[in-house]
């Protein structure tokens, strides 16, 4: 698709990206009218571009006429480093952590001022939570978010504290000075905790996954019911999982597919047979 500017002053690329951006965790299936409204496009323009995206299989149209993200776009997303590198390396450690705790286990990265949840493991015993894979939550109200923020640079922490801090429960820390002290305590003891700051009745413990320079790559955490929270018991296996993931990431180097066996001869044989 070209980058020529349309009548609305936006390029075709910008309008296509607007269509894709119309879908999110709260809006996974949309009608054509919904897409046009959320992407700020005329119905005619939306119809034309959605048709092209559907033909390419970036979008899929259901029997009820609603659209969702298509297999082609999903397949392209799997090529990103969050899946091929971080998630593939982290998964065995997350599974081990779940087996050890039988609680909700999270893997998250920082995206701007939010924690983006890359993976989540839970079971029948796990307490219900609001986080979902692909979802976003504030850094200062979540265990993984605090773990990411506490090991960030002073400049980034200052920038985060300069914005209004959402108060999602009566226990959320919304005062910049109080949050700064909490982050200092977190860094001193090596792990983050929350006490019903995201959801009443739930607490969390989380640790950062650090690179060789000590910067946070991601964070791994566990969410439990308040009556079951024991930070001193939960922290050691979480710390071990975070350290294991960090070590495996370092050992993998620049390999984008660390979980796969690279057999170029097999690939060539498969191509000759096809």
Determine the pLDDT at residue 68.
93
Q: Is the pLDDT of residue 126 over 80?
A: no
Whole-angstrom Cα distance, residue 134 to residue 27? Answer: 12
Copy the structure tokens of residue 259: 């979980």
Copy the structure tokens of residue 115: 């924690």
Give me the mean pLDDT over the 93-108 stretch: 94
Choose among 241, 239, 219: nearest CA to 95.
241
pLDDT digits (tens, 9 = 90+) for 133-165: 778 899 999 999 999 999 999 999 999 999 999
Cβ atoms of residues 107 and 117 within 8 Å: yes
Provide Rg for the chain, Cα atoms. Answer: 22
Determine the pLDDT at residue 7.
45
pLDDT above 70 covers a percentage of the chain that reads: 85
Q: Is the pLDDT of residue 3 over 50?
A: no
Whole-angstrom Cα distance, residue 244 to residue 89? Answer: 9
Q: Is the pLDDT of residue 185 over 70?
A: yes
Determine the pLDDT at residue 153.
94
Whole-angstrom Cα distance, residue 209 to residue 246? Answer: 6
Query: Quick check: helix, strand or coil at residue 116?
Result: strand
The least confident of 84-88, 222-226, 245-249 is 84-88
Cβ atoms of residues 49 and 15 within 8 Å: yes
Q: Is the pLDDT of residue 229 over 50?
A: yes
Whole-angstrom Cα distance, residue 116 to residue 149? Answer: 13
Query: Quick check: helix, strand or coil at residue 199?
Result: coil
Q: How many residues does the chain have?
A: 274
Whole-angstrom Cα distance, residue 241 to residue 97? Answer: 7
Whole-angstrom Cα distance, residue 63 to residue 159? Answer: 47
Strands 114-121 and 67-69, how do they pair?
A: unpaired
Q: Is the pLDDT of residue 87 over 70?
A: yes
**CB proximity list for 111: less than 8 A, separation 6 or greater:** 136
The least confident of 87-101, 139-153, 250-264 is 250-264
Determine the pLDDT at residue 130.
72
Q: Domains in the chain, ordered, with CATH?
A: 12-76 (1.10.10.10), 81-252 (3.30.450.40)
Phi, psi of 209 (to 5 degrees): -105, 110
Whole-angstrom Cα distance, residue 25 to residue 136? Answer: 9
pLDDT digits (tens, 9 = 90+) for 28-86: 899 999 999 999 999 999 999 999 999 999 999 999 999 998 988 877 776 666 666 88
Cβ atoms of residues 98 and 74 within 8 Å: no
């Amino acid at each position: 698709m070209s980058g020529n500017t349309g009548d609305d002053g936006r390029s075709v690329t910008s309008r296509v990206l607007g269509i894709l951006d119309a879908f999110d965790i709260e809006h996974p299936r949309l009608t054509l009218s919904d897409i046009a409204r959320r992407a700020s496009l005329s119905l005619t323009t939306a119809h034309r571009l959605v048709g092209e995206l559907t033909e390419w299989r970036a979008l899929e149209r259901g029997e009820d006429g609603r659209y969702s993200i298509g297999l082609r776009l999903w397949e392209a997303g799997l090529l990103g480093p969050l899946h091929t590198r971080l998630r593939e390396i982290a998964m065995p450690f997350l599974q081990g952590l779940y087996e050890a705790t039988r609680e909700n286990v999270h893997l998250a990265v920082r995206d701007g001022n939010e924690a983006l949840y890359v993976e989540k493991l839970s079971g029948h015993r796990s307490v219900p939570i609001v986080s979902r894979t692909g979802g976003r939550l504030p850094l200062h109200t979540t265990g993984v978010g605090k773990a990411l923020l506490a090991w960030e640079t002073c400049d980034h922490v200052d920038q985060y504290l300069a914005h209004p801090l959402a108060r999602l429960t009566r226990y959320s820390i919304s005062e910049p000075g109080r949050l700064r002290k909490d982050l200092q305590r977190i860094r001193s003891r090596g792990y983050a905790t929350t006490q019903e700051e995201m959801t009443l009745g739930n607490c969390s413990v989380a640790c950062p996954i650090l690179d060789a320079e000590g910067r946070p790559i991601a964070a791994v955490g566990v969410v439990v019911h308040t009556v079951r929270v024991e930070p001193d018991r939960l922290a050691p296996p979480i710390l071990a999982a975070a350290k294991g993931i960090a070590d495996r990431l370092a050992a993998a180097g620049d390999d984008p597919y660390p979980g796969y066996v690279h057999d170029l001869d097999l690939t060539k044989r498969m191509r000759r047979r096809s």
